[in-house]
Every structure is written in C-alpha cells, then in structure tokens.
C-alpha cells in the first residue's frame, strides 16, 4: 500500500508514494497500459504524475518513475530525470534495462508499492571537450562516451590519470559505464562489467593493430582521449552526436555527479537478465527485412552491366 509505512517497515527502503508515468508515444499498447496502471496506483492511494507534469517539475515531485517502453526510453527517462529510481516495463526488443515483461506488471507494482525492491545505483560519465586549453562544452552520459571517426581511420591517444597508455589507430574509442558495457562496448568486443563492478570499460573500435585489448579503469580515474590526426571525428554521448572534433582536441572523461537508479525486484539478477535477454536476440521466428535474391545456377549466364 502507498500509505506511510509502519514501524515494521522502518528498516526497509522507504515505500514510494508518488509515481511518475512515462509511456512510449509510438506504441498504443504502452499508452493503454499506462492508463490502466495509473488507475491501479490511484486505487491504492498512490499519487500519479503524468509525463507532461514531470517535465514541468523536472521529476522532483516523485519517488519513482514507471517507464513503459524499451531500453531507449529508459535511457531518455534517466537522462531527463537523473537520480530518480526507474522501473521499466518492457515494450522493446531486448529489455535489459526495462526488466519487467508487460504480463508481469501487476506483480512488479505490488512489490514496488509494498517496498519489496532494491535500487541498483550505477555511475554515469561526465565528458568535457577541451580545445586549445579552453573548455568548449561539457555533458554527461549514462551508457558511454565515444570518439568515432568517419570513413577514414583516426588515431586516438589514451591517457589514464595523465599517464600515456597507447595510441589506437582505427574507428575510435568507447568509454563505457557498467550499465553501458552491455551496449556498444559489448558489440565492439569489450568486457561485460557485471553487477557490482565499479569501473569504466575502455574499448578500441576496429583497432588496426594486433594490440587491441580493452581495458578497465577504476571509476576514480581521469580518462583522456586525444584526437591525434587530421581525420574528422565526432563526440557521441549515449548515441547522441554532441560535437565535431579536430586534431588536438581532448575529451576528458570522469565519473559524473549523477547516478542511474534502476529498480530491481526479488527474483531478478544481472546474470539471469544477461542470459535471457540477449539470448532472445537469436529469434527463430525473425523475418529478415531484405529478402535474399535467388542464387544463379551453374548454367545461368552472368548478368551484363547495363549501359548508361
């Protein structure tokens, strides 16, 4: 229930009483379920703040936010309302952050309003672009900070706590949080930072060298990435391009002041989520977007190039 907890619950995490509600606008099922969830919460004496009101109040009026969507919407909510606990109900494909499947929403909310939950607090990244010894811009990321080249190979110098580590020729470099290590960093061959690991993964992207081993730096470290050649590159935070880089530009990365607060329920854990969610990507019923063309037989004549 959403009434103030009694003496027995005093040692437990404070029971949320005010809930924000965010639903994926592109999915009717999510908006429909959001209406049902709002009614369910109000019937139990809980306050419900819709997204429009959340924007005006910047999330300050709620104890937790229920997000109906995929991992992308979870990221947007976390970026818009930092340090507020988020419970994700999955309407996406993977659902590694949106842990609750939609058929389980009642069970999850009963646990949440009853105080039977935990908060998994993850560090974020603060990235500062420095050019000619002047700070150009600063922003923060939940998953990763990326320097990414275009069609030409770039060279990135890596420094940790002002110590030169190496120069990486290739497509760029990823600095990922523990939560972000299962995103772009994993796709680029980086390590998975399991639950409880306090570090940042440093992952070269398509490094043109046999020495391409990813590293893990402690969260207290100062990580600096310097663009060392004249090829164009971009600074990307959580998939958002935030600036173009020139030769000599330095990107300074530290632990951010904000945290990513993820609501977890009893019976769920990192390893189960990792095993089940990513196995779901190998779907036997998947339909390819592009149909393969018919392979020419051994007696078929080769195709001629069209004139003009």
User: 63, 71, 116, 132: which one is catalytic?
Assistant: 71
The CB-based long-range contact list for 40-44 (8 Å cut-off, 24+ gap) reads 40/106, 40/109, 41/2, 41/109, 41/113, 44/1, 44/2, 44/113
- 106 assigned to some structural domain: yes
Domain that holds residue 29: 7-116+266-279
> Half-sphere exposure (CA, 13 Å, Cβ side) for 201?
28
CATH number at residue 86: 3.40.50.10330
CATH number at residue 226: 2.60.200.30
- 296 assigned to some structural domain: no
Over residues 137-142, the mean pLDDT reads: 96
- 308 assigned to some structural domain: no
- For residue 284, the model assigns a pLDDT of 52
Across the strands, what pairs with 19?
48, 64
- Is 158 exposed, middle or buried, given 0-12, 13-18 or 19+ CB atoms closer than 10 A? buried
Q: Domain count of the chain?
A: 2
pLDDT in tens, 199-257: 999 999 999 988 789 999 999 999 999 999 999 999 999 999 999 999 999 999 999 99
| Residues 252 and 147 both lie in one domain | yes
| Residues 74 and 167 both lie in one domain | no
Find out whether 80 and 101 touch, Cβ atoms under 8 Å: no
| Residues 236 and 139 both lie in one domain | yes
- 304 assigned to some structural domain: no
Specify the pTM: 0.82
Catalytic site includes residue 249: no
- 174 assigned to some structural domain: yes
Spatial separation of the C-alpha atoms in residues 48 and 280, rounded to whole Å: 33
Q: Return the SS3 of 171.
A: coil
| Residues 135 and 248 both lie in one domain | yes
- 77 assigned to some structural domain: yes
> Half-sphere exposure (CA, 13 Å, Cβ side) for 27?
18
Three-state secondary structure string covering 89-125: EECCCCCCCCCEEHHHHHHHHHHHHCCCEEEEEEEEE
pLDDT in tens, 249-298: 999 999 999 999 999 988 777 777 777 777 644 555 656 676 655 444 44
Q: What CA dihedral angle connects 111, 272, 178 and 158, to 10 degrees?
A: -170
Across the strands, what pairs with 18?
47
| Residues 73 and 91 both lie in one domain | yes
pLDDT in tens, 86-115: 999 999 877 778 889 899 999 999 999 999
- 285 assigned to some structural domain: no
């Amino acid at each position: 229930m959403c009434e103030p907890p009694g003496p027995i619950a005093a040692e437990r995490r404070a029971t949320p009483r005010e809930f924000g509600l965010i639903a994926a606008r592109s999915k009717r099922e999510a908006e429909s379920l959001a209406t049902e969830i709002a009614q369910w919460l109000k019937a139990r004496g809980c306050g419900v703040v819709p997204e429009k009101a959340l924007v005006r109040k910047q999330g300050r009026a709620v104890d937790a936010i229920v997000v109906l969507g995929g991992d992308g919407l979870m990221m947007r909510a976390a970026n818009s309302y930092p340090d507020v606990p988020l419970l994700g109900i999955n309407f996406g494909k993977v659902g590694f952050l949106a842990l609750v499947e939609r058929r389980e929403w009642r069970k999850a909310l009963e646990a949440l309003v009853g105080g039977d939950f935990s908060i998994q607090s993850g560090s974020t990244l603060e990235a500062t672009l420095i050019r000619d010894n002047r700070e150009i811009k600063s922003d923060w990321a939940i998953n990763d900070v990326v320097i990414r080249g275009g069609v030409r190979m770039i060279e990135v110098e890596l420094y940790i706590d002002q110590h030169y580590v190496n120069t990486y020729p290739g497509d760029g470099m990823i600095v990922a949080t523990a939560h972000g290590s299962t995103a772009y960093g994993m796709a680029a061959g980086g390590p998975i930072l399991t639950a409880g690991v306090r570090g940042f993964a440093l992952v070269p992207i398509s490094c043109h060298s046999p020495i391409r081993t990813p590293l893990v730096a402690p969260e207290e470290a100062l990580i600096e990435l310097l663009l060392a050649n004249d090829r164009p590159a971009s600074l990307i935070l959580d998939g958002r391009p935030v600036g173009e880089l020139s030769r000599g530009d330095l990107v300074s990365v530290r632990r951010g002041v904000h945290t990513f607060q993820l609501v977890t329920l009893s019976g769920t854990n990192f390893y189960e989520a990792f095993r089940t969610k990513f196995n779901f990507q190998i779907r036997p019923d998947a339909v390819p977007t592009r149909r393969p063309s018919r392979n020419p037989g051994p007696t078929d004549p080769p195709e001629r190039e069209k004139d003009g």
